[in-house]
Structure 1
Amino acid sequence: MKRLVILGGGESGVGAALLGKAKGYDVFLSDKGKIKDKYKDVLNYNEIEFEDGHHTEAKILNADLVMKSPGIPDKSPLVKQIRNKGILVVSEIELAAKYTKANIIGVTGSNGKTTTATLIHHILKEELEVGLSGNIGKSFAQQVLEQDYPNYVLEISSFQLDDIVDFKPHIAILLNITPDHLDRYDYKFENYIASKFRIALNQTKDDYLIYDADDEVINDWLKSNKVQSTLLPFSLTKTIENGAYLDKEEIKITIDNNQIIMPTNNLTLEGKHNIKNQMAASTVAHLLKIRKQTIRESLENFQGVEHRLEHVLKINKVQYINDSKATNVNATYYALESMESPTIWIVGGVDKGNNYKELFQFVNEKVKAIICLGVDNEKLMETFGTMVDTVVETQFMSEAVKIAYKLAETGDTVLLSPACASFDLFESYEDRGRQFKDAVRSL
C-alpha cells in the first residue's frame, strides 16, 4: 500500500486525505499549527491518522508521495528534506486531477481570480453540470470524490501551480501578472511570472489559453517563450481577430469565425478591470457553446464576490465599501481607480515588498484621508504622509471605522482596500472584511 503524507490540515489537506484514503493510500496528515475542530472531526470519523502542533519526521519521510498545502513554502526545512529524499511533492489540484476525467477550466492571475472563476461558474451552471473549487469553497479533491462533476472551474494560485507535474486545464485563463508574493519567489519577479505560466505547461494545441493582451508582462513572456495551446487574447484597446475586445460599448468575442456581441451598459460589475474579467468569462462560455442569451443574462444578474468592492452601507450619505480581498497594490489600484467621490482610505497589514508608486496619482486626486491599520505602519506613513492632510494610525478595525465616520462628510466614500496581507491583526482577509462590515453596521 502506497503511503500518502499530507502537510497542512486545512480545506485542501483534509479533502486530499479523504480522496487519498478512498483511492487506497495509507494516509497520514501532519500540521505544524492547530487543526480546526471541524476538520479533526472529519479526520477522526474517517479514521485517518493525523497530528497537529508539530511534525514527526519519521512518519513523514517514509512517504511515497507528499501533498503539501499551498501555504507551506518550498524553503521550509522539512520540505527540503522530503525533496532531498527524492519523494515527489504535489499540490492538491495535481493529486485530485488524476482521479477525474472532467473538463477543467483553470483561472489564475495576480488579481480578479475569484471574481472571474465565480462568474464563469455562474454562467456555465445555467447549461452545464459544473463544480467551483481550487482556492474557493469546498476542496477540489473532496468534490472529485463526492460529486465528480463533468466540468470544473478552478481558481488556482501560483503556489498551487508550483507543485503540479501533469496537471492540465483544457481552458486556462491568465488574467494579469503584477508583483505579488515576491517573498516566496526570492524577490525575483521573473520567478513569479514563470510560476503563473505553469498553468499552460502541459497544454497541447487542442487546449486554450485566454489571456490579457493589454498586459505587458504577459505579452513579453509569450514573445520569448513557446506555449502549445491555442491563444485567445482579450483587450480593451486592440481589435482582436480570435478572442475578445471592446468596441465602443460592446464586447465582441470571436472564436473560429463565430462572433457574439455583448452590450456592456447593463453589467453589474463596475470598473475597467471587471470588463476584462467579464470578457474572459464570456470567452470561456462561448468556447463551451453556451447560448448568447444565457451569457448576457448571467453577466447582468451576477452579484460579485464578498470582500471585493462590496458596497456595505450608506450612512449619512457616506458609502462604506469593503475591498478586504485587495491583498496587493494592484488590487487596490483598481479600487481607487473606480472611486468617484472623495475617499477616506483604510490601508495596511503585512507588506509583501509593496511598491506604492502606481497609486500616487489616485491618492493625489481622490483620497482626502488615510487610516493606516497594521502592526507596522511606518512605510505607509513615510510614503503617503505628505500627500494627504490627514494620516492616522490604529490597530483596531472598530477604531478605524469610527475615525473614518468622524472624518467623512456628505458624498464621501470610506474604502477598506488594504493592499497588504491580513495576518498581523486578523485571521484572514475574510475575517478582516467581516470585522469591517460589523463595525460599519454598529455605527
Structure 2
Amino acid sequence: MKRLVILGGGESGVGTAILGKKQGYDVFVSDFGEIKDNYREVLKQYEIKWEDETHTENLILNADVVMKSPGIPEKAPIVKKLLEKGIPVISEIEFTVQFTNAKTIGITGSNGKTTTTMLAYHLLKQGGLNVGLGGNIGKSFAWQVAEENYDCYVLELSSFQLDGIVKYRPDIAIITNISPDHLDRYEYKYENYIASKFRITMNQTENDYLIYDADDEAIEEWFKTNKTKAKLVPFSLTKTFENGAFIKNDTMDIIINNEEFEMKTGEVSLEGKHNMKNAMAATSVAALMKIRKETIRESLSNFQGVEHRLEKVLKIHNVQYINDSKATNVNATFFALDSMTVPTVWIVGGVDKGNDYSEIMSLVREKVKAIICLGVDNKKIIDAFGNVVDMMVEVDNMRDAVVTAMHIAEKGDAVLLSPACASFDLFQNYEDRGNQFKAAVKNL
C-alpha cells in the first residue's frame, strides 16, 4: 500500500486526503498550524489519520509521495528534508489529474484569473456542459474528482500550484497577464516568477491551446526565447489577429479555427479595460468548447462579477463605496484606480510583498484626494505618496478606516478599498477584509 502524506489540512489537503483514501493509499495529514473544526470533522468521518500544530518526522519521511498545500514554501524545513530524501513533493493538481479523464481548462496570471475563471465557468455551464470549478477557488479539485463526475473542470491555478506539477497538461491554458507578485517566494527574481507561470504550458501538445495577453510585456518577452507546442490564441486591446481575440470599433471580435464571434463591448456586463481582456480570454474558451454564440452573448451580458473585486457596496450621501479587497498587489490596484472616474479616497495597506509603488504614481496624482493607510507597518506607503496627496491618515482597524473615509469624502466622490497588499497583518484573508469593509459601510 503506497503511503500518501499531505502537508496542510485545509481545503486542498483534505480534498486530496479523501481522493487518496478512495484510491487505496495509506493517508496521513500533517498541519504545522491548527486544522479548522469543519475539516477535522471530515477527516474523522473518512477515518483519515491526522495531526496538527506539529510535524512528526518519522510519520512524514516514510512517504511514497507528498502533497504539499500551496501556502507552504519550498524552504520549509520539513519540505527540504523530504526533497533531500528524494521523496516526490507535488501539488493537489498533479496528484488529482491521474484519476480523471475530464478535460481541464487551467487559468493563471497575476491578476484577473478569478474573474476569468468564474466567467469561463459561467459560459460553459450556461452552455449546458457538465462542468466543475476548482483550483484556487471553490471546492477542492481532488475532492470533486473523488465525489463528482464532471466532464470538464475550469481550474484557477496560482504559481505555487504550478510549481508542484510534473505531468499536468491542461487542454486549454490561459495566462491572463504577468506582473511582479509573491517575489518573496521566488528569491526576489522576477524571471523565476515568470517561469513559474509558464509551467502551465510546459506539457501541452499540438492538440492543446494557450490563450494569452499579447499586450503583456513579460509574456511577449518570454516568447522571444521560449516555445510551446500548444496552438496560440492571443488577445489584445490594441492589435488585431487572424486567429485570436481583439477589440475593433467598440466590438469584441474573436476568430478561432475560422469561426468568428462578435459582440459590442457595451453589451458586456463587466466594466473596464482589464475586464474586456478577461472577457476575451473566457470567450475564447467558450468558442473552443463550441458553446453556441447566442448563449455566449447572453452569458456575457448577465455575468455578475466576482465578490471583493471592484464590487460596488453602497452609495451613501452620493459617495460610492467600492470593495476591491482582492487587489493584493500593485498591478491589481492599478486597474482599480484606472477605472475610477471621480475623486477618490483610497484605503491601502497590509503585508507588502515587495511592492513598487512608482507604477501607480501618476494615477494616484490624478485621481486620489486622500489616502487612508490600513496596516501594521505603513512606512513604505507614506514614503511613496506622502508628497503626492494632500491628506494621509493611519488607522489600524476597518471601522476607523471607513468612518475616516466618510468624513473626508464629499458628494460625488468615491471611497475605494484597494489594498495592493496581502491581508494577514490585521485580517484572516482578503475575504475577511472585504467583508469587514462591507459591514462597516453598512453601519455608517
TM-score (norm 2): 0.99
Alignment of structure 1 residues 44-443 onto 2, 5 Å: 44-126=44-126, 127-443=128-444
What does the per-residue CA deviation read over 1:91-113, in whole Å, with 9 as the maximum and x for residues that have no partner? Answer: 00111111100010000000011
What letter corresponds to residue 138 of structure 2 in structure 1?
A: G
Tell me the SS of whatever aligns to 2:129.
Answer: coil
What does the per-residue CA deviation read over 1:313-351, in whole Å, with 9 as the maximum and x for residues that have no partner? Answer: 000000000000000000000000000000000000000
What letter corresponds to residue 96 of structure 2 in structure 1?
A: A
Partner of 2:37: 37
Tell me the SS of whatever aligns to 1:311.
Answer: strand
What letter corresponds to residue 251 of structure 1 in structure 2?
A: M
Partner of 1:20: 20
Moved more, 133-142 or 250-259: 250-259
What does the per-residue CA deviation read over 1:58-91, in whole Å, with 9 as the maximum and x for residues that have no partner? Answer: 1000000000000000011110100110100110
Q: 1 CA distance for matches of 2:270 and 2:399?
A: 28
What does the per-residue CA deviation read over 1:35-79, in whole Å, with 9 as the maximum and x for residues that have no partner? Answer: 000000000111100000111011000000000000000011110
Q: 1 CA distance for matches of 2:129 and 2:250?
A: 29
Tell me the SS of whatever aligns to 1:83.
Answer: helix
Q: 1 CA distance for matches of 2:320 and 2:257?
A: 45
Q: 1 CA distance for matches of 2:346 and 2:417?
A: 6
Q: 2 CA distance for matches of 1:262 and 1:174?
A: 23
Q: 2 CA distance for matches of 1:194 and 1:292?
A: 35
Tell me the SS of whatever aligns to 1:298.
Answer: helix
What does the per-residue CA deviation read over 1:248-293, in whole Å, with 9 as the maximum and x for residues that have no partner? Answer: 1111111121111111112111110000000000001011110111
Query: Offset at 1:439?
Result: 0.3
What letter corresponds to residue 53 of structure 2 in structure 1?
A: G
Tell me the SS of whatever aligns to 1:125.
Answer: helix
What letter corresponds to residue 388 of structure 1 in structure 2?
A: V
What letter corresponds to residue 268 of structure 1 in structure 2?
A: S
Q: 2 CA distance for matches of 1:248 and 1:188?
A: 39
Q: 1 CA distance for matches of 2:239 and 2:388?
A: 35
Q: 1 CA distance for matches of 2:224 and 2:130?
A: 37
Structure 1 stretches of 4+ with a deviation exceeding 6 A read: none
Query: Offset at 1:148?
Result: 2.4
Query: Offset at 1:238?
Result: 0.5
Answering whether residue 9 of structure 2 is matched by residue 3 of structure 1, we say no
Q: 1 CA distance for matches of 2:92 and 2:256?
A: 32
What letter corresponds to residue 12 of structure 1 in structure 2?
A: S
Which consecutive residues of structure 2, in runs of 5 or more, have no partner in the other structure?
Answer: none
What letter corresponds to residue 107 of structure 1 in structure 2?
A: I
Which consecutive residues of structure 1, in runs of 5 or more, have no partner in the other structure?
Answer: none
What letter corresponds to residue 329 of structure 2 in structure 1?
A: N
Aligned residues: 443
Q: 2 CA distance for matches of 1:269 and 1:251?
A: 13
What does the per-residue CA deviation read over 1:210-261, in whole Å, with 9 as the maximum and x for residues that have no partner? Answer: 0000001101101110111000000110011111111111111111211111
Aligned-residue sequence identity (percent) comes to 66
Q: 1 CA distance for matches of 2:263 and 2:271?
A: 15
What does the per-residue CA deviation read over 1:375-425, in whole Å, with 9 as the maximum and x for residues that have no partner? Answer: 000110111011011000011100000000000100000000000000000
Q: 2 CA distance for matches of 1:50 and 1:326?
A: 34
Tell me the SS of whatever aligns to 1:246.
Answer: strand
Q: 2 CA distance for matches of 1:248 and 1:330?
A: 27
